Structure 1
Amino acid sequence: MKDMKYLISVLVGAMSYGILSTIVVLAYGQGYQLGEVVGTQLMTGCILAWMLALYTKVRETRKQRKQGITPAEAGNVSPRMTWKHRLLLMLAGAPTVVTGLLYYQSLRYIPASLAIILLFQFTWISVLIQAVSKRQRPDKITVLTLFLLFGGTLLAAGVLGESTAHFDFLGITLGLLSAVSYSMFIIFSGKAVPSVHPAYRSAWMVTGGLVLLCILFPPYFLFNGLLWGQLLLFGFLLGLFGAFIPPVLFAIGVPHIGGGMAGILGAAELPVAVLLSSFVLHEQVSVLQWTGVVLVLLGVVMPELYKLRWRSTETVTS
């Protein structure tokens, strides 16, 4: 029970991600463009992330003073970040922007309930990338997982109940590309300066993403008056639920519950997104599609449940 607060922390973080697609569709409905939506999201997320980093720095400084640690000694205990570290983190944050742009753009062509399912294909894409890079064949549980994900995706996307003319292939392509980009983010983010405090890592990664976005989409909304309308509200909600709350809650909970359980709880993003698209956006989600969603969730959590069971069995036998 003592880990319950950490389980809830990761669960709420995952559910926060599931809210994003609905907010984006509502923003599009008000006439806002892709660069404006993503730009205000990252701007808000960047401000919140740096506020957290500053708060963390103040707390660390106060703690060191109470312990009688000088700034020079603090540098030996916790090495300071170099500009090389900062640049690496900024580069690691770039795939999040690409993922957001591809995913949010796909929402212009396909329903939010389908877009989130396509994004969730990052699960098997990550497995494929790792298998190719390490030159290792996937094990039986991984192969079974892939079949579940493919079958669940076909059902959840409504492929078996609709003609192919019903689907926008550009939207589907964008959704799948967002999954590829997200897979790259997962791979790179875990390797980018892991020794640095999560608050500082998050701040520099979001900053890198904001810089890239400003190059791709110059932030004209800062000067043409759009920011002070509903765009500011949409940007704040997207930044809060997408760029701030999940990283903070994951940083709190994952070290205590482990990556396996975090992967299981992270699947909560999918049903939340589908539920909101059904109730808020009034998208039609059939029983067959819900069956597909359940299969996709099963495909996501099964490998982690298998690992947890294998570890517990190994512990008992040893």
Structure 2
Amino acid sequence: MGIWKYALLVFLGGCSYGVVSTFVKLGYSEGFGLSEVTGSQYFLGAIMLWIIAIFVPKIHLSAKQWLILMISGIPMGLTGIFYNKALGYVDASFAIILLLQFTWISIVLHYIFDKKAPNRKSLFATAIILLGSALASGFLKSDITFSFAGISWGMLAALSFATFIFISARTSIPVHPIYKSAIMTTGASLFIFILLPPTFLINGSLSSGLLMYGLLIGLFGSLIPPVFFNIGMPKVGSGLGTILSASELPMAILMSSVVLHEVVTFSQWIGIIVILAGIAYPNFQRKKSRITDL
């Protein structure tokens, strides 16, 4: 599998995460709360991953390796809590631009822990993505919901998501990506249950419609992204991986238009194009440099 195929997996993982906000909003509209939506997302996501993990090769892991992988899933769980909390205060389009701040946060983490300053290509691509996100999110619209609490939760989601991507690119335990994702998502689920007791398991919410939303959000938010990130991130690195993961915003805008029937303005479509250009830029430059070297 060439590097571009790993990059495609990371890109698709970001797209999958972009679907989540739509189903979370739909779940909220049905009367389900943060604990029910987030708890069912990771609980059902972990179950689906373990079912798939039955069919993949496994190796014996020590207790320490299990603990490392489960702890590595905590930032993923925190992202779900913070982001879903933000969606309760602000519009989905605004929440996604807050989450997209993980691009520059990841650069900061990369600099702090790796002592490596970002190159001009990464900085330029990030600037393009942030510019496009300002347009695509509808941030410039006068009727957008503005909330200090929503902004705070959204920025915390961006920090935890950047941490999750950073860890995904560095967790080197030699285990199948699906098996690894199942353990990480289990760790995220258990951590969420500590913060948000899973009352939905006994109060009848699952049979009242939560099961459908939990499965959908779990599939697109807790199954596909960690599997694709665990496969692709170690190959492409956290720098390029961060930029590719920004594909979540265009997908979130498309879903809000198709499913929620929200009006998407011309400037928002322009923003999507700008973001895609920012995502494609590093890959185009890499391919161009390889051709020059031949």
Residue 124 (str. 1) matches residue 109 (str. 2) = no
| Paired letter, 1:52 | I
Residue 44 (str. 1) matches residue 62 (str. 2) = no
1:188-207 alignment runs, 5 A limit: 188-207=167-186
Q: Distance in 2 between matches of 1:206 and 1:94?
A: 8
- Say which SS state the counterpart of residue 162 (structure 1) adopts: coil
Q: Distance in 1 between matches of 2:119 and 2:8?
A: 31
Structure 1 alignment gaps of length 5 or more: 61-77
Structure number with larger C-alpha Rg: 1
| 8 Å contact kept, 1:85–1:193 | no
| Paired letter, 2:197 | P
Following superposition, the deviation at residue 27 of structure 1 comes to 0.3
TM-score with structure 1 setting the length: 0.80
| 8 Å contact kept, 1:13–1:246 | yes
Following superposition, the deviation at residue 289 of structure 1 comes to 2.5
Call closer, same or farther: CA 1:174–1:299 in 2, change over 3 Å.
Answer: farther
Specify the alignment match of 1:309 in structure 2.
288
Cα deviations by residue, 1:73-109 (Å, 9 ceiling, x for unpaired):
xxxxx6x210000000010000001101111111112
| 8 Å contact kept, 2:44–2:218 | yes
Call closer, same or farther: CA 1:173–1:299 in 2, change over 3 Å.
Answer: farther
Match of 2:65 among 72, 85, 97: 85
Match of 1:110 among 76, 84, 90: 90
Q: Distance in 2 between matches of 1:240 and 1:136?
A: 35
| Paired letter, 2:289 | W
Call closer, same or farther: CA 1:178–1:4 in 2, change over 3 Å.
Answer: closer
- Say which SS state the counterpart of residue 90 (structure 2) adopts: coil
Call closer, same or farther: CA 1:308–1:261 in 2, change over 3 Å.
Answer: farther
Specify the alignment match of 2:202 in structure 1.
223
Specify the alignment match of 1:162 in structure 2.
142
Moved more, 144-153 or 103-112: 144-153
| Paired letter, 2:222 | A
Call closer, same or farther: CA 1:311–1:5 in 2, change over 3 Å.
Answer: closer
Residue 137 (str. 1) matches residue 117 (str. 2) = yes
Q: Distance in 2 between matches of 1:2 and 1:83?
A: 34
| Paired letter, 2:41 | Q
Q: Distance in 2 between matches of 1:301 and 1:17?
A: 19
Specify the alignment match of 1:55 in structure 2.
55
Q: Distance in 2 between matches of 1:132 and 1:9?
A: 27
Specify the alignment match of 1:73 in structure 2.
none
Q: Distance in 1 between matches of 2:228 and 2:81?
A: 24
| Paired letter, 1:309 | K
Call closer, same or farther: CA 1:121–1:295 in 2, change over 3 Å.
Answer: farther
Structure 2 alignment gaps of length 5 or more: none
Cα deviations by residue, 1:261-304 (Å, 9 ceiling, x for unpaired):
87776444322210111232233332223323332333333233
Cα deviations by residue, 1:42-101 (Å, 9 ceiling, x for unpaired):
1111111111222224xx6xxxxxxxxxxxxxxxxx6x2100000000100000011011
| Paired letter, 2:36 | E
Call closer, same or farther: CA 1:34–1:145 in 2, change over 3 Å.
Answer: same
Following superposition, the deviation at residue 312 of structure 1 comes to 3.7
Q: Distance in 1 between matches of 2:21 and 2:70?
A: 25
Q: Distance in 2 between matches of 1:31 and 1:98?
A: 22
Match of 1:94 among 50, 74, 93: 74
- Count of residue pairs brought into register by the alignment: 293
| 8 Å contact kept, 2:168–2:230 | no
TM-score with structure 2 setting the length: 0.86
Cα deviations by residue, 1:146-174 (Å, 9 ceiling, x for unpaired):
432332233334444438x8522322222
Q: Distance in 1 between matches of 2:32 and 2:172?
A: 36
Moved more, 88-97 or 1-10: 1-10
* Percent identity of paired positions between Structure 1 and Structure 2: 41
RMSD: 3.1
Q: Distance in 1 between matches of 2:128 and 2:2?
A: 34
